[in-house]
């Protein structure tokens, strides 16, 4: 397949399940080139079928092993699975690629599995935008379950995982004195908690801490993260989400496969629960509102850069650094010049 | 002092070192009310004196204890210190406040110390914007060293800590199989590494892993995080930062004070190094460019919301969720209507 295949030829191949076409398409949305927009418009009507499963947690919890186990379980159940590993890591550490290699060796040769990592920051809408676009492509390619694995416990990672239909938060015993979840607002996004490495000492303490937190938060509406909140009002609120779904804590030993079938069953139970009473539709509206918002923001930034020559910006910044102009006044000048 | 004190009266009190005035002013920039803009413009000419020290690391590394130790060390050296603890945590977990209480009991009664936590997401420019504004206020109030402590190892936290003049990244032994630093690009922002809890097993392994990473990254230019990058070209690049400063790894047992004086000395050594050859000025330009950029972005978002009625946004989102309009086309329509 030539590298420069136009979207009109790439799209039908991708929709037919051609893995190379899918891989090329993801690279193009990562690069944010001219074809990206056309590609996404072409596949978009074919999306909305795959179930998106976000998996997040602190480093050291064994997320990757858990994800590999879930892929195997889903394959055994006859479903096709894609994995998108999102790692906003400095490029030279190469963490994402290493993880992929380990996984690929376990999963390679199975045409029903597709694994890809995203480690870019350079794309138009940032990492979150590139991830959303890649998810659309995986969805259009027909994968029935799409796992989004994010590394880290920060807000950005939690937000990306929080865009999924079902979000699994992974903990492990002995990662420090504090329960990791408390530190990143993951309570707000977790549909399922997993305590992995459950054969280690301290597992009951970690499970207990999570259950206590869940108990404390009981009745607090579950929220999808909403950073910019531009379109918040536009997406129907998820007001009925607080009743009906009880977040539970599962124990796994992913390295030996222990507990994985139960987690898979819980994800499926959540999927069916979402499908009832229009909850999935409400969540889709919020997901799409976020997506549109990210694109709008990225485009505004692009226009701003295009409208203002670099040297007049440099002059303004110089004045601010010299304390002769305050940052808000400088921002006003920039916005004025933009029109 | 009345709660509604106008900026014209609040500003001179703050500049004179009135703690209550400072506290009120921070609350106002957190809330993002009408007075916030005037307050910041009023204090801005008096900023640029305090040295900003970012301290970040994963939960469980003992950052708060380290920060408390550094405050005590600076006080013993006769310098005034402010601490801004930034915790983008869900409000109901109350993590930030708890940490403050513990600290306050150790540091209270000392007029040369000011501790404040930021846990808001609601302010105009988001958490990063509110943090930048609060730093200006602390700086204007005359604190000579300002510690910014961020919780978590995600991109947002790392970015906030990375806005400081000197950034300290804290690790601890036994927090998992992976070195935490690898996972959040902290190598790019660290001026000093601290391995805290150095009396625990595995400390040499953690120190060794960090030193190996530093060795591998040797010669890679140190970067401040730059998310939007609108004004990147406007701020003079930090091209000469890669030579001259060697990032080193320090061991501490913060709970007993062990190693703290050495870390303080290293921060001061970095401060002097920055002051040489215009490096501090270059870093200030980049900091201010970031600050202006955040304000511009927040204002654009505000305008967008003001220009578009919620129901027409809801209609667009509905069409996207129904797959009859793709997210990029919806974004185009929004931008068109905005003018």
**Half-sphere exposure in the Cβ direction for A36 (13 Å, CA):** 21
Chain A (220-239) residues lying within 8 Å, Cβ to Cβ, of chain B: 220, 227-228, 230-231, 233-236
Q: What does pTM read for this prediction?
A: 0.62
Question: Among A315, A317, A324, A335, which would you mutate to test the B interface (most chain B Cβ atoms within 10 Å of its Cβ)?
Answer: A317
A130 touches chain B (CB under 8 A): no
Give the 3-state secondary structure of residue B55: strand
Q: Say whether A47 and B323 touch across the interface (CB within 8 A).
A: yes
Q: What is the 3-state secondary structure (H, E, C) of chain A?
A: CCCCCCHHHHHHHHHCCCHHHHHHHHHHHHHCCHHHHHHHHHHHHHCCCCEEEEEEECCCCCHHHHHHHHHHHHHHCCCCEEEEEECCCCHHHCHHHHHHHHHHHHHCCCCCEEEEEECCCCCCCHHHHHHHHHHHHHHHCCCCEEEEEEEECCHHHHHHHCCCCEEEEEECCCCCCCCHHHHHCHHHCCCEEEECCCCCCCHHHHHHHHHHHHHHHCCCCCCCCCCCCCCHHHCCCCHHHCCCCCCEEEECEHHHCECHHHHHHHHHHHHHHHHHHHHHHHHHHHHHHHHHHHHHHHHHHHHHHHHCCHHHHHHHHHHHHCCCCCHHHHHHHHHHHHC
> What's the token pair of residue B113?
């110390």
A88 reaches B (C-beta below 8 A): yes
DSSP state, residue B256: G
Which residues in chain A have their CB less than 8 angstroms from residue B333's CB?
none
| pLDDT for res A64 | 87
Residue A109's region, left for phi above 0, alpha for psi from -120 to 50, else beta, is left
Chain A residue with Cα closest to B177: A60
Residue B78 distance to chain A (closest CA, Å): 27
Q: Which of residues 45-84 of A touch B (CB under 8 A)?
A: 45, 47-48, 58-61
Q: Which residue of A has its CA nearest to B314?
A: A234
CA B240 to chain centre: 23
Tell me: the pLDDT tens digits for B265-280? 999 999 999 998 788 8
Q: What angle do CA A43, A160, A29 make, to 5 degrees?
A: 35
In angstroms, rounded to a whole number, what is the distance separating the alpha carbons of residues A304 and B259?
A: 47
ipTM of the complex in this document: 0.79
Element (H, E) at B52: strand B51-57
DSSP annotation of B246: -
What was the pLDDT predicted at A190?
Answer: 86
Q: Bridge partners of A86?
A: A118, A150
Average pLDDT, chain A: 80
d(CA A60, CA B174): 10
Q: Do B334 and A292 touch (CB under 8 A)?
A: yes
Q: Cβ of A295 and B320 within 8 Å? A: no
Chain A interface includes B313 (CB < 8 A): yes
What are the pLDDT digits (tens) for A103-119?
556 677 788 999 988 86
Q: What is the pLDDT of residues A116-174, one digit of tens each?
A: 888 655 444 567 788 889 999 999 999 999 999 986 655 566 677 767 999 998 988 87
What structural domains does chain A harbor?
Answer: 1-46 (no CATH), 47-277 (3.40.50.300), 308-338 (no CATH)
Distance CA B194, CA B212 (A): 15
B residues 136..195 contacting A (CB < 8 A): 151-158, 172, 174-178, 180, 182-185, 187-188
Residue ranges of B 189-208 with Cβ closer than 8 A to chain A? none
Comparing alpha-carbon positions, the chain B residue that sits nearest to A315 is: B234
Three-state DSSP class for residue B114: strand
Give the C-alpha separation, A273 to A278, whole Å: 10
pLDDT tier at A100 (50, 70, 90 boundaries)? low
Searching chain A, which residue's CA lies closest to the CA of residue B234? A314
Tokens found for residue A94: 């190469």
Q: How far is A333 from chain B (nearest CA, A)?
A: 10
Q: Does A14 touch chain B if contact means CB atoms closer than 8 Å?
A: no
Give the residue from chain A lying closest to B186, CA to CA.
A90
Q: Who has greater pLDDT, A227 or A307?
A: A307
Supply B303's token pair. 């305008």
- What's the rounded Cα separation, in Å, for the pair B83 and B146? 6
- Which of A80, A86, A92, A89 is CA-nearest to residue A63? A86
How close, in Å, is residue A159 to chain B by CA atoms?
11
Q: Please state, in angstroms and rounded to a whole number, the distance separating the CA atoms of residues B142 and B137.
A: 9
Residue of A11, A209, A312, A326 to mutate, testing the B interface (most B Cβ within 10 Å of its Cβ): A326
Determine which of A35, A90, A134 to mutate to test the interface with B (most B C-beta atoms within 10 Å): A90
Q: Work out the end-to-end distance of chain B between its first and last CA atoms, rounded to an integer number of angstroms.
A: 45
Q: Do the chains contact at A41 and B326, CB–CB below 8 Å?
A: yes
Q: Tally A–B CB contacts below 8 A.
A: 251
Separation between Cα atoms, residue B291 and residue B45, nearest integer Å: 15
User: How would you list the strands of the sheet with A166-171, edge to edge?
Assistant: A113-118, A81-86, A145-151, A51-57, A166-171, A192-195, A248-251
Highest mean pLDDT among A1-10, B80-89, B228-237, B267-276: B267-276
pLDDT at B150: 83
CA angle A304–B221–A297, rounded 5-degree value? 20
> Half-sphere exposure (CA, 13 Å, Cβ side) for A88?
32
């Amino acid at each position: 397949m030539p590298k420069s295949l136009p979207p009109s030829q790439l799209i039908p191949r991708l929709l037919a399940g051609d893995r190379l076409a899918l891989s090329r398409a993801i690279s193009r949305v990562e690069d944010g080139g001219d074809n990206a927009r056309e590609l996404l418009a072409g596949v978009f009507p074919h999306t909305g079928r795959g179930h998106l499963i976000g998996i997040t947690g602190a480093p050291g919890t064994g997320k990757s092993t858990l994800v590999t186990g879930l892929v195997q379980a889903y394959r055994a159940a006859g479903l096709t699975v894609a994995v998108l590993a999102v790692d906003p890591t400095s490029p030279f550490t190469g963490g994402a690629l290493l993880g992929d290699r380990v996984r690929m060796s376990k999963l390679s040769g199975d045409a029903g599995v597709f694994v890809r990592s995203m480690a870019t920051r350079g794309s138009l809408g940032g990492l979150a935008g590139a991830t959303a676009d890649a998810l659309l492509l995986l969805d259009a390619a027909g994968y029935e379950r799409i796992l989004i694995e994010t590394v880290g416990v920060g807000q950005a990672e939690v937000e990306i995982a929080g865009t999924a239909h079902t979000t699994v938060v992974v903990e492990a015993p002995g990662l420090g004195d504090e329960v990791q979840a408390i530190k990143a607002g993951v309570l707000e996004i977790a549909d399922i908690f997993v305590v992995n490495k459950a054969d280690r000492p301290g597992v009951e303490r970690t499970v207990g801490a999570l259950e206590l937190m869940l108990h404390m938060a009981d009745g607090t509406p579950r929220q999808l993260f909403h950073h910019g909140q531009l379109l918040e009002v536009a997406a129907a609120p998820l007001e009925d989400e607080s009743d009906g779904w009880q977040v539970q804590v599962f124990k796994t030993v992913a390295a030996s496969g222990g507990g994985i079938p139960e987690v898979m069953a819980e994800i499926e139970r959540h999927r069916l629960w979402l499908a009832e009473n229009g909850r999935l539709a409400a969540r889709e509206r919020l997901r799409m509102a976020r997506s549109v918002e990210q694109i709008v923001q990225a485009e505004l930034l692009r226009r701003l850069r295009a409208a203002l020559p670099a040297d007049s910006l440099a002059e303004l910044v110089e004045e601010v650094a010299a304390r002769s102009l305050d940052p808000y006044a400088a921002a006003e000048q920039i916005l004025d010049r933009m029109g």
